[in-house]
Amino acid sequence: MNDSVSITRRWATLTLMLVVPIVILTLLINLTGDITLLQRLTTALILMVAVVALQTFSGNSGVISFSTVAFVMIAAYTSALLTIPVEQKPSLFPDMPWFLVWVIDISLPVPLGILVAVVFTGFVGFIVGIPLVRLSGLAAGIATLALLVVTTVIITKWKVVTRGESTMVGVPKETTLWWALIAVVIVIAIAVLFQVSRRGRRLIATREDANAARSIGISVPIERLWGWTISASLAALGGALYGHYIGTFSAASFGFSLTFFIIAMLVIGGINSLSGAVVGVIAVQVLSETMRTIETKGLGPIPVIDSPGLTEMVLALILLIVLIARPDGITGGKEITALVRSRKKANPSKETAPVEPT
């Protein structure tokens, strides 16, 4: 009983400390009415969903995954196929395979299409995760990168279903700022709940010392598979929302560039904590917007620097500096709750001096 109360308290405290500032920031930016700023905020919130999804597995297991964007793509295409209006599908998919021909005759509401995409992608993640979670270190990194490559090739070459290198069009553009904000709140709540649960703590134990975890009866593959499947499902939510936000996309809209940004956000913020995932997204987005402003209009005394790829180069340089100078990221791999507690201990309140007897 006490353990469940403690878990609930820790879940509620960390969730609120992460979610409340994001909600306040969103409301303040919404008050500006700046359309461009609101669009970039929506994109940042969707990216935060993907980064938190990556942290749920890699941060808790210690196994770096390059496949988050693979699940993002699968969900985006799945939701698109299910929600494109029926009248447009025959012209878009004239040669749909016989086992998917039923897709031509249905058009689900967007929320239902997103839900189906999340469930389907989670199932795919579970299946491919069974062999992958048994790998560690370099082998795991190469395997997850291979999964991203395979997914990209399938989407690019399976023209009758995905339109190949052509753009997927007709996707309902229904993702709004508020949809993205709600998704962030849900994903953070689920990620925190998993982290403080027994499953999450077992997975963290495998990260700290896999051999010691095995010695007390923890199955490393099983715990990793739990984290991997949840991570795939959360990434799928971000992918489906992204597809319904931009409306038209192809495999080139995702790929290695987006993978680099997501990993950079997590590493810069602090891969071992959810707080690091949130802080990393904010830090990288602010940096990206600053560099974009410099590239287009200049910033104060800094003149316009019309150099394609400047943002990526600066981000890569900062990532390199962080890896060398502060490997645990901005947050040091600690949650905001731990940082607050340590600050209180470092600055204890002064006790009231005893009254001298007269």
The model's confidence at residue 113, banded by pLDDT at 50, 70 and 90, is very high
Q: Which of 17-26, 192-201, 255-264 has the lowest mean pLDDT?
A: 255-264
Q: Report if residue 6 sits inside a domain.
A: yes
In this prediction, residue 3 carries a pLDDT of: 62
Inter-residue contact 177 to 41 (CB < 8 Å) = yes
The answer to whether 19 and 189 have CB atoms below 8 angstroms apart is yes
Name which of 132-146, 177-191, 281-295 the model is least confident about: 281-295
Coil vs helix vs strand at 258: helix
List the structure tokens of 129: 């995760």
Tracing tokens 């939510």 back to the chain, one arrives at: 237
Q: Count CA within 13 A, CB hemisphere, residue 50.
A: 32
Whether 256 shows a pLDDT value over 90: the answer reads no
Q: What is the predicted pLDDT for the residue at 356? A: 47
Lowest mean pLDDT segment, chosen from 5-19, 67-81, 170-184: 5-19
**Is residue 265 situated within a structural domain?**
no
Q: In the prediction, which pLDDT does 176 show?
A: 93
Determine the average pLDDT of the residues in 283-307. 76
**Under 8 Å between Cβ of 44 and 281:** yes
Across the chain, mean pLDDT equals: 88
Where does the pLDDT of residue 125 fall: very low under 50, low under 70, confident under 90, or very high at 90 and above?
Answer: very high
pLDDT of residue 228 exceeding 50: yes
Measuring CA to CA, which residue among 104, 108, 109 is closest to residue 90?
Answer: 104
pLDDT over threshold 90, residue 80: yes
Domain annotation covers residue 15: yes
Q: Taking the model in full, what pTM does it have?
A: 0.90
Residue 59 within any structural domain of the chain: yes
Measured distance CA(70)–CA(126) in Å, rounded: 13
Average pLDDT (28-44) is 90
Residue 332 within any structural domain of the chain: no
Domain presence at residue 314: no
Burial of 101 (0-12, 13-18, 19+ CB in 10 A): exposed
Task: Give the total number of structural domains in the chain.
Answer: 1
pLDDT tens across 147-206, in order? 999 999 999 999 999 998 889 999 999 999 999 999 999 999 999 999 999 999 999 999
Question: What average pLDDT does this structure show over 105-110?
Answer: 93
Q: Can you give the pLDDT at residue 357?
A: 47
Provide the angle, in degrees to the nearest 10, between the axes of the packed helices 177-196 and 2-32: 160
Give the model's confidence band at 51: pLDDT under 50 very low, under 70 low, under 90 confident, else very high: very high
Domain range for 117: 2-253
Instruction: Go through the chain and tell me how many residues it has.
Output: 358
pLDDT bin (cut points 50, 70, 90) of residue 333 is: confident
Higher pLDDT, 344 or 205: 205
* pLDDT at residue 318 greater than cutoff 90: no
Whether 137 maps to a domain, the answer reads yes
